[in-house]
A and B are shown apart, each in its own frame.
Chain A
């Protein structure tokens, strides 16, 4: 017996989201069980059924959130731009200053 993780696409074009897992002797039955556990009401467009041992979990904060300030990678870091634009707008409201 093997554990299979199940990912479900609910909306057409949507992402496959982790739904849960099933225990099964082989992939064929795993797909049946996945259908029975997670798609009994026609809620799934597609299922992905993946052996758990094919999945590697990465949760190392040194890798995912390394020390250092990375806020500058976000648009909202540039809040000062709003003020800069306001000042320019006020200064040049009557067109370019010759």
Chain B
């Protein structure tokens, strides 16, 4: 069989629902795309711990502090699982960390923004995690076996993240006028990043990650699912979404929304988001400050580091 035939056969296999294990042969393009995808997912989990970390000490009760700490611990745990998958695909962890802190690889747009009030912690837990759950649930059917199995555990834990965030938002929504306006302002702030979260509406037939069944749902379909589930939930709380054209066309079954400026998304994930530099700086600092621990554990001398 020629190489081209072999690649074609592989493509047909994964498109037909076939699963690939780490010890299976895979085309270079598949391995590269999969690695890039999983690495960005891993980066997003570990960078995603930072915006909420700022709120552990400021959370309004001991219970909220415990819950938020548990959620953040989960997110770092997700990063650990995902970095393991990426390592098995051939990239050493130190290289991945080095690329991340030096801005050579990316992480999700939503983690490039600052958090202003406690309501942001609620909106992140509820709506950002909701958007992430939709992507991650679709990944339960990815063609790469270890990734799909990891998503089972991750999605199970994410359900708690969403609930705790929703509970924060519902508490604020049922509170004073000040609390309600704090929540409304947080929703307004996060709406644009949320509408960008699933990426530009790339036609499914030109999306190579779909062609290799690394992901299984087109970007715009995920965004439609998000709107379908969460716009009604926001509105029944007596709140609004800051986009006047958001509504469902009952005939088409699709939601209208204002097209985000996709060049802005690209700029944000490339490191020009309002909090990009600060977050990467913090990650770099903790990476450098933790070097002695890594060296001690691996028995390397500091001189050799």
Point out residues on A near B: beta carbons under 8 Å.
Answer: 12-13, 15, 46, 70, 72-78, 80-81, 84-85, 87-89, 91-93, 95-97
Contact = CB atoms under 8 A, between A and B. Distances in A.
28 contacts: A12-B19, A13-B19, A13-B145, A15-B149, A72-B67, A72-B164, A73-B67, A73-B70, A74-B160, A75-B159, A75-B162, A76-B163, A78-B163, A81-B163, A84-B167, A84-B174, A85-B233, A85-B236, A88-B170, A88-B173, A88-B237, A89-B236, A91-B238, A92-B236, A96-B238, A96-B239, A96-B240, A97-B238
Contact of A88 (B67, B145, B238): B238
Contacts of B167: 78, 80-81, 84
B21 interface: yes
Interface majority SS on B: helix, strand, loop or mixed? Answer: helix
A58 to B, nearest CB: 17
Interface residues of B, number: 27
A74 B239 CA distance: 27
B170 A75 contact: no
B166 interface: yes
B66 interface: yes
Given A72-B67, A73-B160, A96-B240, A78 B173 contact: no
Contacts of A13: 19, 145, 148-149
